Amino acid sequence: MARTWLPPVEYVATLPKATAYACLYFTDTAGRPFQLRSVYGSGAWQWPGGNMDPGETPWQTAVRECREETGILFEGEPRLLAAHFLAPCGEDWPANHIGFIFDGGTLDDEQIAGVVLDPEEHTEYRVLTLAEWERIMSPRNFHRLAHIDRARREGAAVYLETGAFA
């Protein structure tokens, strides 16, 4: 039986759709995670980052979004901490969502004090211990934070699946 290969354009149309995000994970000099409170949805805590624009790589997205959301011009090298997969969420988000979390390194007190938030995206920022973050974050989002923090400390990237994106 001979195989018939589809032209690339037709084949790609048969594949699952996905969107992608990228962000930078920072801690302060005491190793406490730095996060931003989103104005969207439930006001979840998140890292500087966002959805990829057409033509961008994940790394370019993380650096651009960090600058736009915090004023921090990150000039470090890309070091991946995690790949993150979220399944489609019906009509609310009908595509897979794939994330790339990069190590942003350490922010000193002056850099943290100089953060300028985009008020259309975030209402505040905080630097807290993991125990403090656990008390104010949803279990699902804290699970992701704890794995990213561990990946940073241990120097080994992780793969996460956290269910549907919404």
Cβ-based neighbours of 33, under 8 Å, separated by 6 or more: 25, 26, 27, 127, 128, 130, 133, 145, 149
Q: Give dist(CA 124, CA 112) in Å, integer.
A: 12
Model pLDDT for residues 30-70, shown as the tens digit of each residue: 999 999 999 988 889 999 999 999 999 999 999 999 999 99
Model pLDDT for residues 89-139, shown as the tens digit of each residue: 777 778 888 999 999 999 999 999 999 999 999 999 999 999 999 999 999
Q: Give dist(CA 24, CA 49) in Å, integer.
A: 6
* C-beta of residue 21 within 8 angstroms of C-beta of residue 97: yes
Number of Cα atoms under 13 Å in the Cβ half of residue 2: 3
* C-beta of residue 65 within 8 angstroms of C-beta of residue 38: no
* Residue spans per domain, the chain: 18-164
Structure tokens at 148: 């990213």
Structure tokens at 55: 């033509």
Q: Which of 3-7, 16-20, 56-60, 84-88 has the highest mean pLDDT?
A: 56-60
Task: Pick the range with the lowest mean pLDDT from 20-24, 125-129, 158-162.
Answer: 158-162
First to last CA, the chain: 44
pLDDT score recorded for residue 94: 80
What superfamily would CATH give domain 18-164? Nucleoside Triphosphate Pyrophosphohydrolase (3.90.79.10)
Nearest partner of 121 among 52, 54, 65, 63, judged by Cα: 65
* C-beta of residue 62 within 8 angstroms of C-beta of residue 100: yes
**Alpha-carbon torsion angle 139, 157, 67, 29, nearest 10:** 80
